[in-house]
A = this chain, B = another copy of it.
C-alpha cells in the first residue's frame, strides 16, 4: 500500500490538478483578506453566520446595515423566515426606527471602476464572471452581484424603496437569478450557513414562521472591526483575477476527480464557488 501510494504521488504532477489541489497550492498573493469593516457576525444558539459585506456594490445599504449592527438593532432579533429552495431571512428586533431617508435602489452599479474576469462559458442570464472575489454579471455598462447560494440581500416589500437593511436574507436554494437587479445584494455568507439552511421551513406564506416560538433568536450581531484585533475572526477569499483562480475555473468545468466519467467542459457562475478560508 505504501509503495502504491508513492507511485501515485510520483505520477501526480503529470495529471491536471483538481480544484482542491489548486486551492491548496495557491500562493499567498492569490488571496485577499476580508476587511474587518466588511465582516459581519450574526450569533445564535445554532452558531454564527459569517457574512462578508460588499460596499463596492451597495455602499449605502452596507452603511445602513453597519449602523443597525452598531445600534444593537439585531440583538434580540430573529430568523423570521425559511422558505425551502429559496432563502433564510433574519430581522432586527422590532420596532425598528424608520430610516432618516430612503436608501437608493443599489441593484446594479457602473461596470467601469471595478475589475471583471469573465467566465469563459455561456450563462443563462447574460455575461457572468467575477470581480474581486465576487460572482458578478454585467450588461450594457452595468455590473451586479449574482444571486448564488449564500448571497445576502436586503428584504423589501413591493415598493423598491421599502428595504432599509434591517431585514436580510441569504439564498439557500437554486440560484434565484430572477432576483438579480431587483433587490440590493449586500454580500454573502462565507461561513456557518449550513445550520441555518437546516432550520425548519416556515409554514406561513413565503416560509415565514407562524409564531414567535418558532423563530431562532439572534443573540447579537457584530462588525469584526469593533472587536479587539486579537478576537476578530479572519478570513481570506481567493482573488479572482489570478492564475490560481483561472486554473480553478478550468478544473471546475473539467472535473478531474476520479468519480467523473464525462466532464461537462463548462460550468455556471454559481457552481464555481470562490474559495474562502479561515486564517488562524
> Which residue of B has the minimal Cβ distance to A176?
B271
Task: Name the distance in Å between A19's Cβ and chain B's nearest Cβ.
Answer: 11
- A160 interface residue (CB < 8 Å to B): yes
Which of B125, B173, B261 touches A160 (beta carbons < 8 Å)?
B261
Note all chain B residues with C-beta closer than 8 A to A263: 178
Note all chain B residues with C-beta closer than 8 A to A82: 198
Interface centre among A84, A105, A266 (most CB of B within 10 A): A84
A264 & B180 in contact (Cβ 8 Å cutoff): yes
A198 & B84 in contact (Cβ 8 Å cutoff): yes
Task: Name the distance in Å between A143's Cβ and chain B's nearest Cβ.
Answer: 14
Q: Is the interface of A mostly helix, strand, loop or mixed?
A: loop
Task: Name the distance in Å between A187's Cβ and chain B's nearest Cβ.
Answer: 17
Task: Name the distance in Å between A271's Cβ and chain B's nearest Cβ.
Answer: 6
Q: What count of chain A residues pass the 8 Å CB interface test? A: 49
A197 & B264 in contact (Cβ 8 Å cutoff): no
- A41 interface residue (CB < 8 Å to B): no
- A278 interface residue (CB < 8 Å to B): no
> Which of A1-9, A220-228, A236-244, A252-260 forms part of the interface with chain B?
A252-260
- A103 interface residue (CB < 8 Å to B): no
Note all chain B residues with C-beta closer than 8 A to A121: 124
- A219 interface residue (CB < 8 Å to B): no
B149 & A182 in contact (Cβ 8 Å cutoff): no
Which of B178, B195, B199, B270 touches A255 (beta carbons < 8 Å)?
B178
Expressed in whole angstroms, the Cα–Cα distance for A197 and B86 within the complex equals: 12
Task: Name the distance in Å between A167's Cβ and chain B's nearest Cβ.
Answer: 15
Which of B124, B172, B182, B270 touches A262 (beta carbons < 8 Å)?
B182
User: 16 A–B contact pairs at CB < 8 A?
Assistant: A84-B194, A85-B149, A85-B150, A107-B261, A121-B124, A122-B124, A124-B267, A124-B269, A149-B174, A160-B261, A173-B173, A173-B174, A174-B174, A174-B270, A174-B271, A182-B260
List 4 extra interface pairs beyond A122-B124, A124-B267, A177-B264, CB under 8 A.
Answer: A124-B269, A181-B261, A182-B259, A198-B199
